[in-house]
């Protein structure tokens, strides 16, 4: 019998909201079976079972906030002894006080509890995900001696994937910063030390001797009220982030959710409330000259600058695009493709695809024809090493597609397009698009891309200058399909569907002739889609 400890979910997440239990106490579960869904401020994450066994206890109810490194549920493995199972069963059947949850074992913290009132806790840098073992301390948001609130940003750290904001696990006072800015911090090592507020307050009260016996009762009566005000207000991490971004106090917002939980709608409604202006101030303002009033309005207008920090997916994208644009010499090549026959073929196949449960768009045709063209021009499906002395040709064609997702622009990729059927590609495109827009894309779907497509034409525009998604060496931007006049074989003007595409290639290993010949091969498959049948394996 063991507790399942909520693991690090990445990017400095220290807590998450338990959205839904997928099992109940007493259920038998299999290894990797989904057990719970939790919501961070980034995405909805599914927690699987570590091994086969029986669930004996759920430590949280739906809607509760679960802490990283704290128990989430109790699991008895199938290989545990009968005595352990019997003991777990009897423990589960012990009567609990009405309205109370089963006791949750306290998570381990690095502290010194027996050293008096100044006992501190070390904040241990958590796993940030994707095998990151160290990160650079970019900027401290606090200094030694500063008071911090729960969830307050403390430090920005930079990994090779993204800029991550580390927040305070609880309110208190910072006593030590273990690293200077631009130093490297190791995962699982102390980042800063602090005294939690509940430990720090007795020191302050002892430092101030009572001046009169009559005054002793007032602080004593005020302490419960202060403690009551510091009780945690239920809200999800995403809502807390929204409150911080607008410099609001969570206690000032009326929560409409269960047990007073503050919802996103509550925060937005609070922001829409007009600020009350004192009557005396309004009267004095009306009495002042019009010229002074105009001057104040101009000054206020000049100061109305909203500052929004770049972080999360946006920060990662910004850094990656700057690196790509500044280190890769881009070669741009544009072409017009007649997709009239392709559109007609899609209309014929769409009904049969829908009958099989697949949604057939043009994207599967673009991907499948690209995988065929890559077989003749493998340099488009390669990578270059850091010092540009080797070309690594890749056996699989994993085609990425840029999606405007819930948390920003992401590029999931369809694996092994060369070995999938057209319907198989269509199903993967539909799955990844839905996952990206709902914030459920897995890290596996984001890794391993070899060449990318940006369908910017779905929003508008014909030509583009896309930036290569390094370490890939090529990307194509699809423009808007237009009905344009063209001459047919008899010299007659006819209406045709014309798609404009814009390629960007890594000019270190791809020259103009190569990308032109590759585009011509890809174009031939799209303009005469039936010709792809001759080359499909």
- Token pair 């998604």: residue: 469
Choose among 38, 44, 94: nearest CA to 68.
38
Beta pairing, strands 399-401 & 451-454: parallel
Check 69, 270, 330, 507 and give the catalytic one.
507
Where do the DSSP E strands lie in 439-510?
A: 451-454, 474-487, 493-506
Q: What is the dihedral of CA 13, 165, 437, 413, to 10 degrees?
A: -90
Query: In angstroms, rounded to a whole number, what is the distance separating the alpha carbons of residues 525 and 371?
Result: 11
Choose among 384, 365, 281: nearest CA to 327.
384
Measuring CA to CA, how many Å separate 498 from each of 14, 340, 483, 484, 487? 51, 7, 6, 7, 13
Query: In angstroms, rounded to a whole number, what is the distance separating the alpha carbons of residues 33 and 48?
Result: 5
Q: What is the dihedral of CA 255, 257, 262, 267, to 10 degrees?
A: -80
Q: How far is CA 447 from the centre of its chain?
A: 15
User: Is 528:338 a contact under the CB 8 Å cutoff?
Assistant: no
Check 118, 216, 376, 511 and give the catalytic one.
511
User: Is 482:462 a contact under the CB 8 Å cutoff?
Assistant: yes
- Residue 535 annotated to the active site: no
User: Is 360:519 a contact under the CB 8 Å cutoff?
Assistant: no
User: Is 76:56 a contact under the CB 8 Å cutoff?
Assistant: yes
Residue 13, judged by CB atoms within 10 A of its CB (0-12, 13-18, 19+), counts as: buried
DSSP 17-73: EEEEESS-TT-EE-TT-EEEEEE-SS-EEEEEPSSSEEEEEE-S-TT-EEETTSEEE
Query: In angstroms, rounded to a whole number, what is the distance separating the alpha carbons of residues 124 and 191?
Result: 6
- The token duo for 323 is 């690196």
- Residue 507 annotated to the active site: yes
Residue count of the chain: 537
Query: In angstroms, rounded to a whole number, what is the distance separating the alpha carbons of residues 371 and 451?
Result: 10
Measuring CA to CA, how many Å separate 42 from each of 13, 312, 315, 406, 441? 9, 8, 13, 9, 11
- Residue 482 β-bridge partners: 498
**Which positions are annotated as active-site residues?**
507, 511
């Amino acid at each position: 019998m063991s507790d399942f400890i909520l693991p690090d979910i990445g990017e400095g997440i220290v807590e998450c909201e338990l959205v839904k239990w997928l099992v109940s106490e007493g259920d038998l579960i299999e290894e990797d079976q989904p057990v719970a869904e939790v919501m961070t401020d980034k995405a909805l994450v599914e927690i699987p079972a570590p091994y086969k066994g029986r669930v004996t206890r759920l430590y949280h109810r739906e809607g509760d906030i679960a802490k990283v490194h704290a128990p989430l549920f109790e699991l008895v493995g199938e290989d545990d002894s009968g005595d352990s199972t019997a003991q777990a069963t009897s423990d589960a059947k012990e009567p609990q006080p009405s309205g109370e949850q089963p006791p949750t074992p306290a998570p381990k913290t690095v502290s010194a509890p027996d050293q008096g009132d100044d006992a501190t806790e070390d904040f241990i840098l958590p796993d940030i995900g994707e095998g990151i073992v160290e990160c650079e301390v970019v900027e401290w948001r606090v200094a030694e001696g500063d008071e911090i609130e729960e969830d307050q940003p403390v430090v920005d750290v930079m990994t090779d994937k993204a800029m991550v904001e580390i927040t305070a696990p609880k309110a208190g006072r910072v006593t030590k910063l273990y690293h200077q800015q631009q130093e490297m911090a190791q995962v699982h090592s102390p980042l800063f030390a602090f005294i939690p507020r509940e430990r720090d307050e007795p020191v302050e009260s002892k430092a101030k001797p009572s001046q009169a016996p009559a005054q002793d009762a007032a602080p004593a009566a005020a302490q419960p009220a202060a403690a009551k005000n510091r009780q945690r207000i239920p809200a999800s991490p995403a809502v807390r982030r929204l409150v911080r971004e607008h410099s609001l106090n969570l206690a000032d917002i009326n929560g409409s959710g269960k047990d007073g939980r503050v919802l996103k709608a509550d925060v937005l409604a609070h922001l829409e409330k007009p600020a009350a202006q004192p009557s005396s101030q309004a009267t004095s303002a009306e009495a002042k000259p019009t010229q002074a009033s105009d001057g104040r309005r101009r000054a206020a207008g000049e100061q109305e600058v909203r500052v929004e920090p770049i972080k999360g997916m946006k920060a990662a994208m910004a850094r990656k695009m700057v690196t790509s644009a500044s280190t890769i010499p881009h070669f741009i090549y544009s072409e017009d493709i007649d997709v009239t026959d392709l559109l007609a073929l899609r209309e014929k196949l769409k009904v049969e695809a829908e009958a099989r449960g697949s949604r057939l768009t043009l994207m599967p045709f673009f991907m499948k024809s690209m995988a065929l063209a890559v077989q003749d021009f493998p340099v488009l499906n390669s990578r270059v090493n850091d010092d540009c002395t080797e070309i690594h040709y890749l056996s699989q064609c994993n085609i990425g597609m840029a999606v405007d997702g819930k948390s920003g622009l992401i590029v999931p990729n369809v694996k092994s397009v060369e070995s999938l059927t057209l319907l198989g590609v269509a199903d993967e495109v539909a799955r990844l698009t839905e996952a990206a827009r709902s914030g459920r894309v897995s890290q596996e779907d984001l890794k391993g891309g070899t060449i990318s497509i940006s369908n910017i034409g779905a929003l508008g525009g014909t030509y583009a200058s896309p930036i290569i998604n390094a370490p890939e060496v090529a990307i194509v931007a699809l423009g808007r399909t237009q009905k344009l006049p063209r001459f047919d074989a008899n010299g007659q003007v006819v209406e045709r569907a014309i798609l404009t595409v814009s390629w960007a290639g890594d000019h270190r290993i791809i020259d103009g002739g190569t990308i032109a010949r590759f585009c011509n091969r890809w174009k031939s498959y799209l303009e005469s889609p039936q010709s792809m049948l001759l080359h499909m394996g």
